[in-house]
Amino acid sequence: MKEEKDTYWTTEISPTTFAKGLGLKELWQKKYLIWLFIKRDITVQYKQTIFGMGWYFISPLFTMFMYIVVFGRIAGIPTDDIPQPVFYLSGICLWEYFSTCLTEAAGTFQTNASLFGKVYFPRLVMPVSKVISKLFRFTLQLGTFIIVYLIFVWKGVHLRPNAYLLLFPVLIFMIQCLALGLGLIISSLTTKYRDLINFFGVFVSLWMYATPIVYPLSYVTNPTLHMIMLFNPMTAIIESFKYGAYGAGEFSWTSLGYSAIIIIVLLFIGIAMFNRKQKYFIDTI
């Protein structure tokens, strides 16, 4: 009789826990995989399209003109004496990046169900790669804002960029973390309760109007409503960028610090929920 050989496992896959660092070490080890998914996402977006990257310029400009007509001309909402195209584009670029990253992160389990069921890799790779890949689109749209900004400067409009504009990379990082954290929470919840995805779409739309995108924060004169809006972590981010870009709006280190704390808490909660849910993902999906 042949002797039975002992079987040795070289790799053991176990659920990620808080004690293991939320899987961040494993995520860092698979950074090459993140880069591969980033390149794939950017490449796929241009296949079988007529205008290609042109859509990234058309979208914010079309939205800007719509805001000018509806909120500027019809509603007559002021823009802190800032040219309407500049004012609206600054908010549109930041909000579109945030909402796109949030939507992609929120659909992680649903859109990658077939892939997750076939091969193992750190699940956080997918939402992280989505958030980073959307930077390419955001950069192009930001370029549109800069061109429009410079056109008005050339025309003699007095815009006052200042040192607070140096916080721009920090603000973008805060947007990424907020979208990732909240997106992971929503993704974890919609895995079991799928009808919540319908509420999510409405929630994002309403959130935009609770953020000073189409109106300045100074337009909200009611003290109670003004305070409620400051509880929105995106408010301080949007206002800080506007203040640094053209010297209008409200800037507060306290509000920005509050937003940072909320974002950190949501990010940790999101990662913890995501890692816990992935253990039962295949069974519930």
- Kindly report the pTM of this predicted structure: 0.86
Q: Is the pLDDT of residue 80 over 60?
A: yes
DSSP track, 274-285: HHHHTTSHHHH-
> Percent of the chain at pLDDT above 70?
81
DSSP track, 214-245: SS-GGG---HHHHHHHHTSHHHHHHHHHHHHH
Q: Is the pLDDT of residue 18 over 50?
A: no
* Surface-to-core class of residue 41, CB atoms within 10 Å of its CB (0-12 exposed, 13-18 middle, 19+ buried): middle
Distance CA 240, CA 168 (A): 9
Q: Is the pLDDT of residue 15 over 70?
A: no
- The number of helices, as runs of H, and strands, as runs of E, in the chain is 13, 0
Of 103, 75, 104, the residue nearest 88 (C-alpha): 75
